[in-house]
Amino acid sequence: MSVLYSISLPDPAKARGSDPRLSFTASGAEAFAEQLQAALRTTELFDRWKSMQDEPDDVDPSMAATDPTATVTGQQADLRINLQATTSLPGDVFKQRLRLLAGNHWELRDVR
């Protein structure tokens, strides 16, 4: 079952994770949406993060889950960017990917 997450990036310039190798590089709504969608559909971001861990073999394999049908759209709304992500990924996996990409500079607005 898919869930719709409504996310807001109040200050897109600050929407960066703590490690530049993992964080958003986007500057526009469409680019943010594309990067989040890729992080949900593939293991590329997760694999980079896992390889940086002290004990990569101890990482919970369920966190590598992907949703090849995940979709993300983005819209500019004044200074903020709003993202709508539809995915079947568990909430903890979704939030981990978003934290890697944006750090703490995002807001969960709605979940349906």
User: How high is the pLDDT of residue 35?
Assistant: 98
Q: Show the tokens assigned to 44.
A: 């590329």
Quick one: which of 105, 106, 29 has its CA closest to 72?
29
- Going 33 to 38 to 43 to 49, the CA torsion angle's sign is negative
Which pTM was predicted?
0.96
For 2-23, how does the pLDDT look when each residue is reduced to its tens digit (9 = 90+)? 999 999 999 999 999 999 999 9
- Going 28 to 98 to 71 to 86, the CA torsion angle's sign is negative
Residue 74 bridge partners (DSSP)? 83
Distance, in Å, from the CA atom of 45 to the CA atom of 102, rounded to the nearest integer, reads 13
